[in-house]
Amino acid sequence: MSNIRKLSPNIAKDLRNFMSENNITTKRLIIDLEQETVEDADDYSVDDILSVAGILKPGEADELLDHIKESREGWGK
Amino acid sequence: MTNDSSGYLLDSNIVIAILDNDISAIDIVRRAQSEKKKIFFSTITECEVLSGIKHHQYLVAEKMFSSKHVINVDSTIARKAASIQSEQRQKGRKIKTPDVIIIATALTANLVLVSRDSDMSFVTNEYGMKLISEKQV
């Protein structure tokens, strides 16, 4: 049995308006009702990840790795 | 690398390498984009990284942990992790809980696991997972 459900015209209109206002042109969306967000299912952008590259100062990466190593030691095996 | 997975799950050590501007780690991110694959992190990684960085870096670093990249640890992942941990314990291999949750997340979501942790190398032989390991990144 298919899980596809027909949207009411009003909801479809509101969604189209929302997408237009947010410059979303994709035809596939992920609607997260818990977070109350709409996400482009075909969004492969990584700008948000690349924007944080290099924020650590010299030596801080090793400190962070040590922090994680120590925190994992506390977990069970 | 071509594969039929839906994306890559980056372990905490790879995220730190990105924060450290490590070229190999950044290449993985760019590779994913060129392959039209998505990048994901476990909430385990989100916790580990954000708890360890300096306060003034927090607001910058948290940008990468948006809902489009983060996979929550749900009951399906927890049970898969429990199963793996139990199986491996019987074989004499002890895996820390954060490690096995990250492995189970990649396995459940059909993602390529990217990690520099040599302890995770068994996943390719034992679970048929795709792993980009320390030798490649």
pLDDT at B111: 96
Instruction: Render the burial of A1-19: b for 16+ CB within 10 Å, e for the rest.
Output: eeeeeeeeeeeeeeeeeeb
Asked if A75 and B97 come within 8 Å (Cβ–Cβ), the reply is yes
Q: Which of B39, B6, B11, B43 is nearest to B132 (CA)?
A: B11
A64–B contact, CB cutoff 8 A: yes
Chain A CB contacts of B22 below 8 Å: 61
Q: Taking the complete model, does pTM exceed 0.90, yes or no?
A: no
Instruction: Choose between A6 and A66: higher pLDDT.
Output: A66
Q: ipTM score here? A: 0.87
Interface membership of B130 toward A (CB under 8 Å)? no
pLDDT number for residue B53: 94
Q: What is the pLDDT of residues A22-38, one digit of tens each?
A: 888 877 787 878 778 77
DSSP B7: E
How far apart CA B79 and CA B14 sit, in angstroms, is 25
Check residues A2 and A3 and name the one with the higher pLDDT. Answer: A3
DSSP annotation of A42: T
Tens place of pLDDT for every residue, chain B, 137 residues?
445 778 999 999 999 999 999 999 999 999 999 999 999 999 999 999 999 999 999 999 998 998 889 999 999 999 999 999 999 999 999 999 999 999 999 999 999 999 999 889 999 999 999 999 866 76
The secondary element (H helix, E strand) that includes residue A14 is: helix A9-21
Q: Do A32 and B67 touch (CB under 8 A)?
A: yes
Rounded CA-CA distance B69/B91 in Å is 33
Q: Which amino acid is at B7?
A: G
Neighbours of B30 (CB within 10 A): 12
At A37, which helix (H) or strand (E)?
A: strand A37-40
